[in-house]
């Protein structure tokens, strides 16, 4: 993002730079708002689907609730919390953004892992579908990212033993892989017949594809900033 010179705000000769920066900030804020809207739609539809038969929830529906809230809500918001143009954390100090990120990531990771384990225990055969295989990838990288996040969180204190970027860059990459794998697993979940039957569009794939598209859209918006950060840190470390 172009950082406006203080004089530009006062209408100096750098007004053009400020205009460009303002337009970019509006674009970033719009994408951020779109991501929140799409998260709400996708998570909301999944929760309504899981509660379609009321309480108590069977193991499959419990799996859906825990994993969707864990991955697509809490972990998504945890990543967005660190973005400079995120609406609800824009006024936070950096240290508070990191604390918010940590809390949301821990909560999301625990829910997602528990949801995955419950479904594994409920089945006699696991990981025999693409949905299950990508869910396994998401769970493994979520666990690794969660552990690695501790060294990233205390990177400053551990800087004499471990260079900060050596813990932060892998943490970002592991987290992105987990988040994208969770997206792919979710998309295969939308492709199941019982979801299409529930929508009343079993013979037409429009709604399922729309849900896949919305999930993919907010996932892409969310991972752009972390990937740029990881790339920048890698370049600086190599130089």
> CA angle 78-82-83, nearest 5°?
115
122, two tokens: 């409920």
Instruction: Record the tokens describing residue 178, joined without a space.
Output: 């987990």
Cis amide linkage into residue 201, ω under 30° from 0:
no
Residue 163 resides in a domain? yes
Report yes or no on 83 lying in a domain: yes
The pair of three-digit structure tokens given for residue 10, joined into one six-digit string:
């006062």
54: left (phi over 0), alpha (psi -120 to 50) or beta: left
For 233, counting Cβ atoms within 10 Å of its Cβ (0-12 exposed, 13-18 middle, 19+ buried), the class is: middle
pLDDT of 235:
84
> What DSSP string runs through 201-238?
-TT--HHHHHHHHHHHHHHHHHHHHHHHHHHHHHHHHH
pLDDT reported for residue 72 = 96
Characterize 36-68 residue by residue with b for buried, 16 or more Cβ atoms within 10 angstroms of its Cβ, and e for exposed: bebbeebbebbbebbeeeeeeeeeebbbbbbbb
Domain count, the chain: 1
What is residue 109's predicted lDDT score, i.e. its pLDDT?
Answer: 94
DSSP for residue 70: I
Q: Domain with 160 in it: what CATH number?
A: 1.20.120.1770
Per the document, the length of the chain is 239
Judge whether 227 lies within some domain: yes
Q: What is the pTM of this model?
A: 0.84
Q: Does the residue 1 lie in any domain?
A: no
Instruction: Measure Cα distances from 222 to 68, 81, 92, 137, 161 in Å.
Output: 16, 10, 19, 19, 31
Q: How do the pLDDT tens digits run along the chain, 239 residues long? A: 343 444 333 433 334 435 558 888 888 889 999 999 999 999 999 999 999 988 899 999 999 999 999 999 999 999 999 988 898 998 899 889 988 999 999 999 999 999 999 999 988 888 889 999 999 999 999 999 988 877 766 655 555 565 556 678 888 999 999 999 999 999 999 988 888 888 775 556 688 889 999 999 999 999 998 998 888 888 887 87
d(C-alpha 12, C-alpha 162), whole Å: 45
Give the Å distances, CA to CA, from 2 to 52, 97, 188: 48, 22, 39
Q: How far apart are CA 133 and CA 136, in angstroms?
A: 5
Is 64 domain-assigned? yes
Query: Is residue 43 a part of any domain in this protein?
Result: yes
Residue 203 lies in a domain: yes
pLDDT at residue 41 in the model: 96
Owning domain of residue 93: 6-238
Q: d(Cα 122, Cα 94) in Å, to the nearest integer? A: 42
Q: Please report whether residue 198 resides in a domain.
A: yes
């Amino acid at each position: 993002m172009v950082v406006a010179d203080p004089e530009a705000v006062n209408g100096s000769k750098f007004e053009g730079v400020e205009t460009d920066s303002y337009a970019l900030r509006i674009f970033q804020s719009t994408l951020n708002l779109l991501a929140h809207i799409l998260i709400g739609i996708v998570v909301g539809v999944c929760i309504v689907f899981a509660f379609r038969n009321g309480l108590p929830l069977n193991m499959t529906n419990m799996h859906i609730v825990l994993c969707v809230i864990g991955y697509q809500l809490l972990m998504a918001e945890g990543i967005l919390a660190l973005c400079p143009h995120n609406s609800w954390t824009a006024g936070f100090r950096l240290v508070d953004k990191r604390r918010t990120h940590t809390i949301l990531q821990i909560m999301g990771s625990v829910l997602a892992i528990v949801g995955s384990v419950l479904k594994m225990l409920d089945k006699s055969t696991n990981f025999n579908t693409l949905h299950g295989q990508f869910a396994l990838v998401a769970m493994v990288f979520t666990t690794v990212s969660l552990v690695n996040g501790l060294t990233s969180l205390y990177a400053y204190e551990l800087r004499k033993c471990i260079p900060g970027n050596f813990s932060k860059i892998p943490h970002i990459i592991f987290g992105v892989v987990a988040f994208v794998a969770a997206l792919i697993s979710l998309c295969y979940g939308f492709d199941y017949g019982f979801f299409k039957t529930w929508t009343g569009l079993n013979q037409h794939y429009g709604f399922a594809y729309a849900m896949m598209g919305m999930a993919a859209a907010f996932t892409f918006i969310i991972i752009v900033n972390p990937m740029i950060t990881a790339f920048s840190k890698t370049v600086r470390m190599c130089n």
